[in-house]
Amino acid sequence: MSRIAYVNGQYALHGEASVHIEDRGYQFADGVYEVINIDGGRFVDEEAHLDRLDRSLDELRIAWPMSRRAMKLVMRQVVHRNMIKDGLIYIQITRGVAPRDHGFPHGIPPSIVMTAKTFKSLPAEQPDDVGVAAITHPDIRWSRPDIKSVALLPNILCKQKAREAGAYEALLVDSAGYVTEGSSTNVWIVTKNNEVVTRAANENAILNGITRQAFIKLMAADGLSFVERKFTIAEALEAKECFITASSTRIKSVVSIDGKPVGNGHPGETVARLRRLYWTAAEAGGVLPKVPTNIREKR
């Protein structure tokens, strides 16, 4: 079956969908995006993703292209037309189309694109029996990675370095020697005292991942000891476990960093436990609460 995309009010064949050459997302990376998992036909943590989309748009002063209610209807149409049961939907919103100029244009509507694709994540009962390797890399991104911007060139360069080194992920390290996050993931460690640690999201140094938020809530409900603080690569290597999370990754053990083993060099019990908890919640539609918000419907 041919894939279907949504572009600015129209549904089109994926291979024929296009945006204007002067779309500011294309020329300036002047836009934001979200990726929402679909499990068993359900959007996982949909409200939390849309809340973060709203925050990203607000930080860049980009208007919503439609109401939140309309957005949800289009999302469901894209999933329906692509016959997605397990997969993801990608949403991208840019400032719009205008003659190239660095300043904000006036009176133009934002552009929106949605695509969806099928993929099947590992079931909870399948053991994470190998883990993945990671390398370290200086954090070369701009100073606002908390915004889910389409300006991902630094992330791409870091990810490519990891692949060329035969690794899955690059762990980014700030100028003070502390881990911020991965090129496309949040990073965690489990100390020898069984404390789960990840960097705080209140200083604009990392993206506050929706999957990150979900795991924090799961840990609290399950009684796991958890703290948000900075940690170094040396501490990660001495930890019992290290792992990464993201919407596309869910959760993966990191068993080596720069060729050195993390802990005993094997996935640990904490990751296996968290995978089971997350998958059970995801199958029910997500972890984060679905509550009324003060999100702007239209601006």
Task: Please report, for the chain, the start and end positions of each structural domain, with discontinuous segments joined by +.
Answer: 4-118, 132-283
The residue annotated as part of the active site, out of 117, 148, 159, 240, is: 148
Amino acid at residue number 107? G
At residue 281, the pLDDT reads: 84
At residue 1, the pLDDT reads: 64
At residue 75, the pLDDT reads: 98
At residue 296, the pLDDT reads: 36
At residue 205, the pLDDT reads: 93
Yes or no: say if 34 and 46 are a contact pair by the CB < 8 Å rule: no
Residue 42 burial by Cβ neighbours in a 10 Å radius (0-12, 13-18, 19+) = middle
Residue 256's region, left for phi above 0, alpha for psi from -120 to 50, else beta, is beta
- Beta-carbon contacts of residue 216 (< 8 Å; ≥ 6 apart): 226
- Beta-carbon contacts of residue 215 (< 8 Å; ≥ 6 apart): 188, 245, 251, 274, 278, 287
pLDDT in tens, 187-197: 999 999 999 99
pLDDT in tens, 40-62: 899 999 999 999 999 999 999 99
What dihedral do alpha carbons 139, 247, 162, 137 form, nearest 10°?
10
Backbone angles phi, psi at 196, to 5 degrees: -85, 130
What average pLDDT is seen over the chain?
92
148 labelled catalytic: yes
DSSP letter at 216 equals H
Yes or no: say if 255 and 261 are a contact pair by the CB < 8 Å rule: yes
Q: How far is the C-alpha of 161 from the C-alpha of 169, rounded, in Å?
A: 9
Specify the CATH architecture of the domain 132-283.
Alpha-Beta Barrel (3.20)
At residue 126, the pLDDT reads: 53
Could you please state the CATH topology (level 3) that the domain comprising 4-118 is classified under.
Answer: D-amino Acid Aminotransferase; Chain A, domain 1 (3.30.470)
Yes or no: say if 53 and 98 are a contact pair by the CB < 8 Å rule: no
Q: Which segments of the chain have a pLDDT < 70?
A: 1, 121-129, 289-299
